[in-house]
Chains A and B, each alone.
Chain A
Amino acid sequence: MAKRVGMEVAIAAAEAVGMCNIDMAAVYPITPQSHIAEHLSEIVADGRIDAEFVTVESEHSAISCVTGASATGARVYTATSSQGLMLMHEILPIVSAMRLPVVMGIANRAVSGPLNILNDHSDIMPQRDNGWIVIFSENGQEAVDLTIQSFKIAEHPDVMLPCCVNIDGFQLTHMVEPIEFPDQKQVNKFLPPRKPYATLHPDKPASMGTFAMSDIFHEVMKAKDEALKDSKKTILKVWAEWEKMFGRRYRPVETYLADDADVLLLTMGSMGETAEIAINELREKGVAAGLVKIRLWRPFPFDELKQAVKKAGILVVTDRAVSFGGPGGPVAGEVKAALYDEKKRPLIYNQIIGLGGRDMAVSDFVKMVEDAVKAGAKGITKDYEFYGVRG
């Protein structure tokens, strides 16, 4: 086992990118992602890797720049957060439609307004339907592992889709914690150089980013949807290979003490670990509680989710973003849709939590579950609640 080293998670994410033999990166700094941009540019400037770091004037340029570079066959990386991701929005569906394996790190942060720089998932949720593979990390180790894995997943000939790794801003990006870096030689073995499907090279001319009207557009969208759904097979294969080589297991839906649980808590992102402690406390109090953690947000792991929650009577779904005027949180909306056709399905509580960096202590998760258990079906008077909101 490699030695654990102490490192800030954003720095570690940049180090992980540095291990992936990238050809080019374009990253525009934005809190709380800036340390990724700064450190990656240092890695390039110090000559530790042979790559271009393009200093761009905006996130729109950053994503456009890596898209162009990816079309030439290069392995590329970008990273952003919040408003930066919103500015990239226009380009994101184009990257997936062009089937370019761009890898992006997202230091999740609330979108304005009011201006807030702290963590929630309101930046990634509006990007949900752009055709990207979307993965959430729960700690620094996962941020490193998932970043490296993303290149392999994205570039796989059965996938060829962009992939983003969500790393909760501050809670993860600004945390100094122990990380175990994989061996560079092993990474090289795991991640061979990219073999692009097409490149912009005069020896083999190709047109990319083409025009498609109503006579073909419908088919193109279906093809994109199938490609994204189908990518799960490759994701599972890559995770199996990672486990074999590096010993750490990744699954689309992770569970903790969920098998015999009557009540389940569901989280996505860095709050999953704090929730685990809450589950321990609940178990000590005699509550048969368990935890379900969604790691793969797109393509959504319908089968794994159904499997994970099928025995539970109550499911408390937490959301770090709001679909205003809609079904509540985007995660709960998805979970409910997934379970609609199931004969037996749990009662679902939806709690909107931790918006704009509002901290969630272990006791908050305990309370949330205890309240749901106490109230049972009668407690669900609204589709969703803002947990702990004043007034």
Chain B
Amino acid sequence: MKKRKWPEAWHEVSPGCVVFAPANAREYHTGSWKAQRPIWDDSKCIQCGVCYIFCPEGCITQNEDKTFRADLDYCKGCGICAHECWPGAITMIEEG
């Protein structure tokens, strides 16, 4: 059975619209929104983590080798990371 995105009928609405599934934002792949994506020049990156802090989707993580990358399934291409990256390590490039 196909999982429904929301209740079909009014009487199926959870009282108070309470959602009990934790972290269900993971099911929402906002990566499809993006027209641009960030790329890192790791030679300029000082590993300050500003991109990680400012990313509104929380989709930037630090890898074991200390470099930062965005999870493109969720990255909306907003460019805030590139804007905030003061050493200029992040560039937004066109998708496709």
Q: A residues near B, CB below 8 A?
A: 97-100, 160, 197-198, 204-208, 210, 212, 215-216, 218-220, 222-223, 226-227
A to B CB contacts below 8 Å, 17 in the list: A97-B17, A99-B15, A160-B16, A197-B16, A204-B20, A205-B20, A206-B18, A206-B22, A207-B19, A207-B24, A216-B13, A219-B9, A219-B12, A220-B13, A223-B13, A223-B15, A227-B15
Residue of A nearest to B11 (CB): A223
Q: Does A206 lie within 8 Å of B20, measured CB to CB?
A: yes
Pairwise interchain contact A210-B19, C-beta atoms closer than 8 A: yes
A99-B18, A100-B16, A220-B17 given. 18 additional CB < 8 A pairs? A97-B16, A98-B16, A98-B17, A98-B18, A160-B15, A197-B15, A197-B18, A198-B20, A205-B20, A206-B19, A206-B22, A212-B17, A216-B13, A219-B7, A219-B10, A223-B11, A223-B15, A226-B11
B90 to chain A, nearest CB (A): 30
Those of B1-35 within 8 Å (CB) of chain A: 6-7, 9-13, 15-20, 22-24
Whose C-beta in chain A lies nearest to the C-beta of B7?
A: A219
Taking a contact as CB atoms under 8 Å apart, the answer to whether B10 and A226 are in contact is yes
A222 to B20, CA, bound (A): 21
A206 to B22, CA, bound (A): 6
The residue on A at minimum CB distance from B20 is: A206
Which residue in B6, B15, B20, B24 is a CB contact (below 8 Å) of A216? Answer: B6
What chain A residues lie within 8 Å of B11 (beta carbons)?
223, 226
Docked CA distance A219–B11 (Å): 8
Please name all residues of chain B whose beta carbon is closer than 8 Å to the beta carbon of A207 when the two chains form the complex: 18-19, 24
Tell me, rounded to whole Å, the shortest Cβ–Cβ distance linking B43 to chain A.
Answer: 41
B24: chain A residues within 8 A (beta carbon): 207
Contacts of B7 in A (CB 8 A): 216, 219
CB of A2 to closest CB in B, whole Å: 37
Determine the residue in chain B with the shortest Cβ distance to A222. Answer: B10
Cα separation A44 to B24 with both chains bound (whole Å): 40
Closest approach, in angstroms, between the C-beta of A104 and any C-beta of chain B? 18
Contacts of B9 in A (CB 8 A): 219
Report which of B6, B18, B19 forms a contact with A215, defined as CB distance below 8 A: B6
Given known pairs A205-B22, A219-B7, A219-B10, the reply for A210 and B17 (CB within 8 Å) is yes
Alpha-carbon distance A226/B6, docked complex (angstroms): 19
A205→B20 CA distance, assembly (Å): 6
Q: How far is the CB of A50 from chain B (nearest CB, A)?
A: 27
Question: Which residue from chain B places its CB closest to the CB of A95 in the assembled complex?
Answer: B16
- Report B-chain residues with C-beta under 8 Å of the C-beta of A226: 10-11
> With the chains together, A223 CA to B6 CA distance in Å?
14
Q: Which residues of A contact B20 (CB under 8 A)?
A: 198, 204-206
B13 touches A99 (CB 8 A): no
Residues of chain B within 8 A (CB-CB) of A227 are 15
Closest to B9 in A: A219
Query: Closest residue to B23 on the A side, CB-wise?
Result: A205
Q: Within 8 Å CB of B13, what residues of A? A: 216, 219-220, 223
- Bound CA–CA A215/B6 (angstroms): 9
Residues on B with beta carbons closer than 8 Å to the beta carbon of A208: 16-18
User: What's the minimum C-beta distance from A227 to chain B, rounded to whole angstroms?
Assistant: 7
Please indicate the chain A residues that have their CB under 8 angstroms from the CB of B16 in the complex.
Answer: 97-100, 160, 197-198, 208
Residue of A nearest to B5 (CB): A215
Cα A160 to Cα B13 in complex, Å, equals 14
Nearest Cβ on chain B to A231's Cβ, whole angstroms: 12
Name, among A98, A216, A222, the residue most crowded by chain B CB atoms within 10 Å (CB to CB).
A216
Residues of A within 8 A of B23 (CB): 205
The 7 residue pairs across chains A and B that have the minimum distance between CB atoms = A99-B16, A205-B22, A222-B10, A219-B10, A207-B19, A223-B13, A98-B16
Task: Give the docked Cα–Cα distance between A98 and B15 (Å).
Answer: 7
